[in-house]
Structure formats: structure tokens, C-alpha cells
Amino acid sequence: MVKRLVEKVLSSRRVYDGHVINLRVDTVLLPDSKQTTREIVEHPGAVAIVPKLGDEDIVLVRQFRKAVGKYLLEVPAGTVEENETPRACAHRELLEETGYRAKKLTRLASFYLAPGYSTELLHVYLASSLIHVTRKPEADEFIETVIVPFDKALHWIQTGEICDAKSISALLLTSRRKK
């Protein structure tokens, strides 16, 4: 068993403080007393929601993702704001991105997106008993909602039409719960 030594930070350099993310580079001491650097993206955390519409359907969203240069089909999701709980964030993002309010919100899991370099922790919620209100997208979001049977969404994971880690994890965790 590897000695359970955490990596001691010798110095930390702030590279960038941004709108959604920050970047810092830590110089750390390894268990063998050598040094290395760790590039760390600081992220405030996020939520993803699996919105169940009736017995069979779910609500997905399609939007352009500049980082990957493509329109992606995903579960609704968003970044936790300052002084906001993940649960409140899930309610807000669901409404902003799909126009639905959820009477019931159940946390399914919490996991890290890219622990090799990002602090981002994402909380997944199952939303049900939805009521359609109206969509209030944020200023820089252009989002299309897509309502599909849950089984179709699972099929789209197999075909690669759904191809982001949080959506795949959230939908497959929901699928296992249904059994």
C-alpha cells in the first residue's frame, strides 16, 4: 500500500481569475521528496438535472459548446453561484434552461468531473412532478429543449449522440435507480 501522504504545497502561483474558472499552479512535494507542479482549474461547483416529464419522457437541452466547437445534447446543468446551495441552483438552472419548475428534487450522486486538474464537484438531481412555467435563459445562453423518451436517451448514449460525462453518468445512474 502506498504511504498515504498528501502532497504538501511549497508554493502557489495564481495565473488567472476569471468569470467561471480560475487557474493556479501549485508546486508540491511528492512522497519521494521530489517536487512537481500541479495545474489546477478552480471551479465553484455545478449541478446536473434529470427532469422526468410524466412516466416516460425526459427533458434534454441542446446548445453550442465553444470549448469543443459543437452543439451538444446534454441534461440541463449549470454552475453554482455564490451563496447558492446546489439544490437551489438545480431549481434555478432547470427553470432557466427548460422552463420547468420541479415539485420534487432528489439528489442522486455527487462526483468530480476531471479530478486530475479541476476542482469541479457536480451534484446530480432527479427532478419530477414538473410544471411548465416559462423559460428564462441567461444572457449568453442559447438553448433548445428536446423532450424524448428516457429509453431513447439511453440509446443516444450508445450511438454517441449524447457524449458528455455528466449526462452519461446522470442518465445511467437514473436508469439503475429505476430497476
Residues of this chain, 22-81, that bind its own copies according to CB under 8 A: 23, 25-26, 28, 30-32, 34, 36-41, 43, 46, 62-69, 71-72, 74, 77, 79
**Which span sits near its own copies by CB under 8 A: 20-28, 50-58, 87-95, 126-134?**
20-28
Q: Is 115 among the residues that bind its own copies (CB under 8 A)?
A: yes
CA atoms within 13 A on the CB side of 144: 9
Report the nearest approach of its own copies to the CB of residue 156 (Å).
12
Inter-axis angle of helices 150-159 and 165-178, to 10 degrees? 130
Question: Identity (one letter) of the amino acid at 59?
Answer: V
Whole-number Å distance between alpha carbons of 15 and 30: 22
DSSP characters over 63-104: EEETTTTEEEEE--EEEPPTT--HHHHHHHHHHHHHSEEEEE
Interface pick for its own copies out of 11, 85, 110, 129 (rule CB under 8 A): 110
Smaller CB separation from its own copies, 26 or 96: 26
117-146 residues in contact with its own copies (CB under 8 A) are 117-122, 139-140, 142-144
Report the nearest approach of its own copies to the CB of residue 103 (Å).
25
Smaller CB separation from its own copies, 36 or 106: 36
Minimal CA–CA distance to 112: which of 8, 41, 14?
Answer: 41
Q: Is 18 among the residues that bind its own copies (CB under 8 A)?
A: yes
